[in-house]
Structure 1
Amino acid sequence: MQLFQEFREFAVRGNAVDMGVGVVLGAAFGGFIDSFVSDILLPPIGVILTKMNFENLYISLSGGTFVSLAEAKAAGAATINYGLFITASIRFLLVLFAVFLVVRQINRWRKPHKSPMASLMKKECPFCCMPIPKPAVICPNCSSTLTEEGIEKPPRWHIK
């Protein structure tokens, strides 16, 4: 019973739900990009490059000559399908670029004061001049107590 309760807590935790949504959206986005590359992007490129179909670019390892990749596969010939590899590479680059654009836009939408990195921003200790985290109230380097105005009380052992 406790195992089920732990699993339920894990499943409804924000990170697991976010990851699940991301996987579903990624699969849908992958289908969209596949269709975009195969049906819209590569046909005009194939026409420009002497009317070739990227899916029919292959090397037959069995020595036979075939009109298309489908014919070679039907004959049972071993082939290196470099046209399919080119298509997959273009799909990958498009997905990579799209993810870059999405992450870039999300980073622009974030408020600087709500960013997790904002709390790690550095300030300088007015006593020892070492960089310390902004929210620090005691300098980890010289043990000075910091206030809004500067140093409240230097450490007792420190010699001026």
Structure 2
Amino acid sequence: MGMLKEFREFAIKGNVIDLAVAVIIGGAFGKIVDSVVKDLIMPVVGLVFGKLDFSNLFVVLGTVPQGTAMTLDALKKAGVPVLAYGSFITVAVNFFILAFIIFLMIQQVNRLKRNNPEPAPAPAVTPEDIVLLREIRDSLKRPPSNA
């Protein structure tokens, strides 16, 4: 029963929940970056290098059955081994863009931390009885007034 209690305490700690939320958001963010790379960046890169579709860049490593189309999908469905380097290029670009975006985010967080220094701690509040005792002490130290 002790291990179950320890696990429950571990699972409901804030760090575990924060990690779970980060993984979920990271997965969704990865899909967005994947779409940006595949749908926006790779077509432009492909146009610059003269190839319109990087996903169909491959090298056939085996024999192609008669009547099989020479596309990556058709070759994979036919069970032909292919070296799909175009897909690798897309994934590598995806990784570098994601890493660069994370770098920019961390850079901004660090800059915000530097611009907002911790406020100075508030001075300690002196209890009222101490203030009154100091006033009495100070009044006793003053020379008598000649009135």
Instruction: State the 1:63 CA deviation.
Output: 4.6
Please say if 1:59 is aligned against 2:59.
yes
State the match for 1:101 in structure 2. 104
| Alpha-carbon separation, structure 1, partners of 2:108 and 2:4 | 39
Matches within 5 A, 1:32-111: 32-64=32-64, 67-110=70-113, 111=116
Give the 3 Å change call, closer, same or farther, for CA 63–112 of structure 1 in structure 2.
Answer: farther
Give the 3 Å change call, closer, same or farther, for CA 58–66 of structure 1 in structure 2.
Answer: farther
Compare relative contact order (CA 8 Å, sep 6+) and give the higher one, 1 or 2: 2
Computed over aligned residues only, the root mean square deviation of the Cα atoms, in angstroms, reads 2.0
1:113 to 115, 118, 123: 118
Unaligned runs of 5+ in 1: 115-160
The number of equivalent residue pairs is 114
Higher helix fraction: Structure 1 or Structure 2? 2
Amino acid in structure 2 at the alignment position of 1:69: L
Please say if 1:7 is aligned against 2:7.
yes
Measured against aligned partners, the alpha-carbon deviations of 1:65-119 in whole angstroms (never above 9, x if no partner) come to: 95311122133211011000000000100110111111111112224438xxxxx
Amino acid in structure 2 at the alignment position of 1:50: G
TM value normalised by structure 2: 0.69
Unaligned runs of 5+ in 2: 120-147
TM value normalised by structure 1: 0.64
Instruction: State the 1:12 CA deviation.
Output: 2.3
Higher strand fraction: Structure 1 or Structure 2? 1
Larger radius of gyration: 2
